[in-house]
Amino acid sequence: MSDREPTPLATTPPAGPPAEPGRPAPPQNRPRRTGWLWGALAVVIALVIGGALGWGIGRSGAATTAAVSSSTSGQQVSACDAITVSDDVLPAIVTVSAIGSAGGGTGTGELITSDGYIVTNNHVISGAVDGGTISVVSSGGVESPAQLVGRDPRSDLAVLKISGSNLPTVPWGDSAKVVVGQPVVALGAPLGLSGTVTSGIVSALGRTVPVPGDDGQTAILANSIQTDASINPGNSGGALVNCSGDLIGINSAIATVPNAAGQAGGGSVGIGFAIPSDFAHTIVDQLIKNGHVTYPYFGLSVAPIPPAAAQRLKVTDGLYVVSVVPGGPSAQAGLRQGDVITEIDGKPAANADTLAQTVMTTKAGESVDVTYVRDGQTAKATVTLENPPS
């Protein structure tokens, strides 16, 4: 595959209406499968777009932290003051409705500017991009037509615009400061229950979650935040906020227990994924400025190496270099056709998602260390990524 085109991901058919698909995804750094096997529990990843039901979330303000005493350990466990967070955040939340020729769905967005720019997921509005209509309903019940400013299927983000001034907003938070165990709040309208607030903690960081995107391609939730705050269909595009009401993530997918047909199950099992705000912010800025996103590229095409070939080359996993663009970044770094990339920036190159994530989270002009095997010898190269040729 080329580093500019994520590898397609096999999916199962929707379990219900088209707007509520059950969409499996493989685990991080594992061979592709139709589901994840965590312990003895098989789960699948589902995008949390709503069907005929609604959803919503997000805005800003200050909140306090309440300390709750643990009767078993005697230690202090912190939790956000969800009442204060709700009062501050919900005014900036809108419910997004997208209707196209194939049907409709609903999701959430959050106002990020006082003149009406809204962030949501691409999969919320993708069904309406060709001749469909998009509208939003504010927390106060006011419906407005929305213009699609730009979308990026690769990162599953989109920006809408409504008319207005002095609108309530949710401030961008610093996801780089998020730590495992810190309390968070998710707000939205899961299953059509608007104004729903759930709380929990950050369960893990740095999850790479491939999910189905447009036209059979793969979207990547790069370095996503994992949380146990309850997220269900209807929460897509909604806000995950810290105790100060700052936006630290865009809720986008959940893990669910599959049904008998192997498709995504009904709702939350306490494993949700949010796109980190720092990454989302850079994508949103490009969408507002240009209407699209430009990613740098390595200038090579790769394919996962078969197990037999990996054994012969004495590598655990790797990406076989199918071709190298003459004069491109990888060629300049000395990589050749036939090399086997085993690490990218210190991360095992177990599948092409590692390459895709690196491209998505690296800027043109930045360098990436690549470890590779050639003729049985391990070597390293430094690839300086560039913007793709126009």
Phi, psi of 310 (to 5 degrees): -60, -40
Of 199, 236, 268, 301, which one is the catalytic site residue? 236
Instruction: State mean pLDDT over 226-240.
Output: 91
Q: Is 345 a catalytic residue?
A: no
pTM of structure: 0.78
| pLDDT above 50 for 72 | no
- The side-by-side arrangement of strands in the sheet containing 143-145 is 143-145, 133-138, 93-100, 103-111, 117-120, 157-161, 147-152
pLDDT of 242 reads 97
Q: Which residue has the higher pLDDT, 155 or 8?
A: 155
Q: What's residue 373's pLDDT?
A: 92
Alpha-carbon distance of 271 to 191, in angstroms, equals 17
Q: Where are the domains of the chain?
A: 11-293, 300-384
Percentage of the residues of the chain whose pLDDT score is greater than 90: 51
Q: Which range (48-57, 126-135, 179-188, 223-232) has the least confidence?
A: 48-57
* 365-385 per-position pLDDT tens digit: 999 999 999 988 899 999 999
CB 58 within 8 A of CB 170: yes
Higher local confidence (pLDDT), 131 or 102: 131
The CATH number given to 300-384 is 2.30.42.10
Q: What is the pLDDT of residues 318-365, one digit of tens each?
A: 899 999 999 999 999 999 999 999 999 988 887 888 888 899 989 999
* From 2-16, 98-112, 332-346, 364-378, the region with the lowest mean pLDDT: 2-16
- Among the ranges given (55-59, 79-83, 120-124, 253-257), the one the predictor scored with the smallest mean pLDDT: 55-59
According to CATH, the topology of domain 11-293 is: Thrombin, subunit H (2.40.10)
Looking at the predicted structure, is the pLDDT value of residue 19 above 80? no
Identify any residues that bridge with 65 across adjacent strands, giving them in sequence order: 80
Q: Which of 3, 152, 156, 246 is catalytic?
A: 156
SS3 of 274, please? strand
Listed range (19-33, 72-86, 185-199) with the worst mean pLDDT: 19-33
Catalytic residue among 3, 60, 123, 278, which? 123
DSSP string covering 297-364? B-SEEEEEPPHHHHHHHT-SS-EEEEEE-TTSHHHHHT--TT-EEEEETTEE--SHHHHHHHHHT--T
pLDDT of residue 68: 33
Per-residue pLDDT for 40 more than 80? no
Alpha-carbon span 332 to 258, nearest angstrom: 46
Active site residue 236: yes
